Chain A
Amino acid sequence: MLPLSQQHCLNHPAREAAAQCPQCRHFFCRECITEHDDRILCAVCLRLMARKADGRRHPLRAFGRAALGLGGLLTAALFFYWIGQILLLIPASYHDGTLWKSFWSSGQ
């Protein structure tokens, strides 16, 4: 890719580029680029960001969020339930270490 000094504005090909937009990676002149929230952005990317921020909320969005949260909670509970079931399946002699006692006594 050519360096910034040899690039031209995407919207005004006759003008030299002043900066590269970090979002869309295109080069722009001073007029087409702006600063927003300590970042250099082109007008199109800034407009897209603003539109995304002001996006209308779907009425079912709250329901979807609650379902996601409940689903996540159930997934976590299911995982720990299975851990509990595995622990219940393991013999008590293994849990309390008496299993090894028979090995020591047979060794002696």
Chain B
Amino acid sequence: MKPSNREPGNGVFDLVEEAVHLLRGAPLSLHAAYALGTLPFVLAFLYFWADMSRGAFARQHAALGAAGMGLLFWWMKCWQAVFAAEVRSRIAGRAAAPWTLRRAGQLALTQIALQPSGLFAVPFALASLVPFAWVFSFYQNLTAAGGEPGGLGDTCKTAALQAGGRLGQCWLLLGVLFLFSFLVWVNTVLAMAMLPDLLKTLFGVETAFTQAGLHSVFNTTYLACSFALTYIFVDPLTKTLFVLRCFYAQSVRSGDDLQADLARLRAPAPDSPALLPSRP
């Protein structure tokens, strides 16, 4: 039977809507898990950028800084995979599996062995354009499937299998994400430019940004800051979208989406009429 577009997981905007709904209803611990991994990396990257662009002795400690960035990149990818695993358990309506030493070790190994190649592969695929959707989807799927049971080979196989399916949907999803990211970036740049002036006008607070004038805007660190903030704002949504994509694709075989629906139906609704006091 040919799948209709009304099936869950087929429509791009349905996926986006579901991902936003999931993130809005997620507990603080889920966002904290994401921030714990991403914020140290982003802050270190901005320091690395500023140091390499202005530091007098930058050339001497470039290698050491790069090694530190590599470690923080690993740290970030591990926590992003933890975030994806928790999102997946919420979608499936199941309690999250406990984080044993073995599971954490498998996740750490998967992320360090496979994710760094994406640093080269994704820009290269973007430059050649044609395989970009597959490559980008593959590395996102590695995060999405990183917390699942199975070894390195299993995770790699799952990510490749899911990346190969529904490429049209993936291209459309990337288009929507690009447009959304661009709008977020424009808003971030405007907010970063206006905030110091607003502080000065409303509260009389003079900062280095107001004193520097346009020089505070026309430098590469400012640009890097705006991109870093955009990444922090948009990436949780990207991760959730690819977790949803993987979940629905795997549900065709596992039936997890049906089990999640059944679990939701079995659970008593909080505002069930039976629980309300009867009117006289």
Contact = CB atoms under 8 A, between A and B. Distances in A.
Interface of A: 22-23, 38-39, 65, 68-69, 71-81, 83-85, 87-88, 90, 92, 94-98, 100-101
A83 B51 CA distance: 12
Given A72-B114, A95-B54, A95-B221, A87 B215 contact: no
Contacts, number: 104
Contact of B48 (A38, A75, A80): A80
A73 B112 contact: yes
B253 A87 contact: no
Nearest to B252: A22
B65 A80 contact: yes
Contact of B116 (A39, A76, A87): A76
Contact of A88 (B58, B109, B112, B259): B58
B112 A72 contact: yes
Contact of A69 (B49, B109, B218): B109
B219 A77 contact: no
B259 A38 contact: yes
Interface in B207-244: 214-215, 217-221
Contact of A75 (B52, B58, B119): B119
Given A73-B116, A74-B70, A84-B48, 4 more contacts: A39-B254, A73-B112, A76-B70, A79-B116
B116 A72 contact: yes
Nearest to B114: A72
Given A73-B71, A76-B74, A88-B59, A97 B218 contact: yes
Contacts of B113: 65, 68-69, 71-72
B69 interface: yes
A17 B117 CA distance: 46
Contacts of A94: 220
Nearest to A94: B220
Given A77-B70, A81-B63, A90 B115 contact: no
A75 B120 contact: yes
Contacts of A88: 52, 58-59, 62
Contacts of A80: 48, 65-66, 69-70, 73
A78 B120 CA distance: 10
Contacts of B73: 76, 80
Which 9 A-B residue pairings sit nearest by Cβ, starting from the closest?
A: A76-B70, A77-B70, A97-B218, A81-B66, A80-B69, A75-B116, A87-B52, A76-B116, A80-B66
B59 A75 contact: no
B220 to A, nearest CB: 5
A87 B67 CA distance: 16
Nearest to B67: A77
A101 B63 CA distance: 33
B53 interface: yes
Contacts of B59: 88
Given A23-B253, A65-B109, A97-B215, A73 B66 contact: no
B35 to A, nearest CB: 21
Nearest to A77: B70
B53 A87 contact: yes
A48 B54 CA distance: 58
Which of A68, A75, A76, A96: most chain B Cβ within 10 A?
Answer: A76
